[in-house]
Amino acid sequence: MPVRPLPALLTSALALTLAAVPLAGTATARPAAASCSAQAIETAPADGPDVKALCAALKGLPDRDATAALIRVGGKGSWHGVAGVRDMRTGAPALENARFRAGSTTKVVTAAIVLQLAAEKRISLDGTVQEYLPGLLTEEFQPVEVRQLLNFTSGLQPGKSLGDSTEDMYPHRFETLTPAEVVAASVAKGPDRQYAPGERQDYGNIHYTVLGMLIEKVTGDSYAHQAAVRIFRPLGMRHTCFPAGPDPLVHGPHNRGYDWIDGKLVDVTEWNMSDRWAAGDMISTTADLERLLVGVFSGRIVPEPQLKEMFAVPAAVDATMGAPFSRVEVNGRTVWGKTGSRPGYHTILAATRDLSRTVVYSVNSTDARGDGLAIAQRFAFPAFNR
C-alpha cells in the first residue's frame, strides 16, 4: 500500500525549520495553551508544577518532533496545557479533550482487572497459565504463574507481529492479526531457553495478551466489557473504550497522528490495532487517564494487598518494572508511571505514590514508537521540577 505523505510544503517546513518558524498556513491555528499567558506563568504557585518549563515545552508546536501535545497536571497544584494542530492539512488548533490511542497504558487496566479477580479469590497470582488456560502452552513450557505474566517474567517469547517498525507496519495497517494468532506464534517459538519463568524480566505485549485471555476465561465475559464494568464506569471514564474488533478509526473528537516514513510526514491516524488488545488497544482522553491514575493509586480500584503488586519490582535479571509501573527519580521525587505508544501517539501517566503530583499527557509524536525518553523529559518531567 503506497505511503500518502502530506503536502511537500508542510513536510519541508517541518524538516528545515523545526520549531523556529511557523508552518505555512498555520500561524494563527497554533495558539499557546490558555494557561501559558505571561500572567499565568508569573502567578503560578511556587509549590506547584513548573509552569514556565511546561509552557516552554509546548512553545512552537507543531515542530519536527510533535504536531500536538495535551498535558494535564494534578495533585498539589493543577495545570492544563494544549498546543499544536488537530490536523496538519487544515491547521485547525489541537483539541484539549481529544481522544487518542493510549497504547501500553492499557496494561494498567489489564493488571487492575487481574488483581481485582485475585482479591475476589477467583484466581491466585501463584496459579499458572497451565491451570487457567489448559492447552494454551505446550508441554515444553515450565509452569508460568499469573504473577509472572503481570511483571513480565513469564519467559514467553514475542508473538507474531505485522512489523518491527512503523515503516514496516504501515503497509499492513488495515490487516487483522488476532490475539490468538499472536499467542500461537509465541508458543510455537517455545520458552526462553536461557531463563526459567521468574528469572528474567523482558517487557513485551505477549504477557498481557495472555492475561486478556485469562480474564475472558475466568469471567466468561469479553475483556472489553470487563474493563468497562470494573474500571471505566466506576471511575467515570466516559470517553474511554476499545475499538470494535478491527475498526481502524478513532471515533469522536481527536487530533490526528503523524509519523516520518521514508523521509515524509505521513498521516497514521487510521490503523487496525486489534492485535494489541489487552496490551495496548485502548482509546482514551487525558482527563479519563487522570481518573484511572488517581483511582488506581488511591486503592479505589485495586485493594491492598493486591495493589502493592503494581509497584513490586521482582528480583529478576534486568528487572526495572512492577506490574506494570516503572519507577524513576525526578528532581529528588520517586515517580511511578507507565508509557504507551502507537504510531502518531505517545502517552504517559505518572504520579508520586501519595498523589501529591500527577501528570498525564498525550503527545502526537512523529516518532512515537522511538525511545520516548526525550518526549517524557520535555513534556512530563517539568511537572515534578518542584
What order do you get walking across the sheet with 333-342 strand by strand? 79-84, 66-75, 357-365, 345-352, 333-342, 326-330
Residue 154 has pLDDT above 90, yes or no: yes
Tens digit of pLDDT for each residue in 9-37? 454 444 433 333 233 233 333 333 447 88
Flag whether the pTM goes above 0.75.
Answer: yes
CB 223 within 8 A of CB 190: no
Residue 359 has pLDDT above 90, yes or no: yes
Query: Is the previous residue joined to 305 through a cis bond, with omega within 30 degrees of 0?
Result: yes
CB 253 within 8 A of CB 362: no
- pLDDT of the residue at 287: 98
Residues linked to residue 357 through DSSP beta bridges, in sequence order:
75
Confidence band of 3 (pLDDT split at 50, 70, 90): low
Which range of residues forms the domain containing residue 293?
A: 100-384
Residue at 236 is within a domain: yes
Query: What 3-state DSSP class applies to 91?
Result: coil
Residue at 360 is within a domain: yes
Residue at 235 is within a domain: yes
- pLDDT of the residue at 38: 81
Residue at 270 is within a domain: yes
Residue at 106 is within a domain: yes
Total domains in the chain come to 1
Which residue has cell 482509546? 283
Residue at 190 is within a domain: yes
Distance of CA 330 to the CA centre of its chain: 20
Residue at 129 is within a domain: yes
Identity of the residue numbered 316: A
Tens digit of pLDDT for each residue in 64-109? 999 999 999 999 888 999 999 999 999 999 999 999 999 999 999 9
Provide the 10 A C-beta neighbour count for residue 131: 14
Total number of residues shown for the chain: 386
Do the strands 345-352 and 333-342 form a parallel or antiparallel pair, or are they unpaired? antiparallel
CB 244 within 8 A of CB 88: no
- What torsion, rounded to 10 degrees, do the Cα atoms 208, 361, 380, 259 define? 80
Among 24-33, 191-200, 329-338, 353-362, the range scoring the smallest mean pLDDT is 24-33
Question: CATH number for the domain including 206?
Answer: 3.40.710.10
SS (H, E, C) 280-301: HCCEECHHHHHHHHHHHHCCCC
- Residues 207, 74: Cα–Cα separation, whole Å: 31
Distance of CA 212 to the CA centre of its chain: 16
CB 100 within 8 A of CB 285: yes
Among 128-137, 224-233, 327-336, the range scoring the smallest mean pLDDT is 327-336
- Residues 184, 15: Cα–Cα separation, whole Å: 42
Residue at 215 is within a domain: yes
Residues linked to residue 70 through DSSP beta bridges, in sequence order:
82, 362
Among 25-29, 114-118, 281-285, 377-381, the range scoring the smallest mean pLDDT is 25-29
Q: For residue 189, what is its C-alpha cell?
A: 517459538
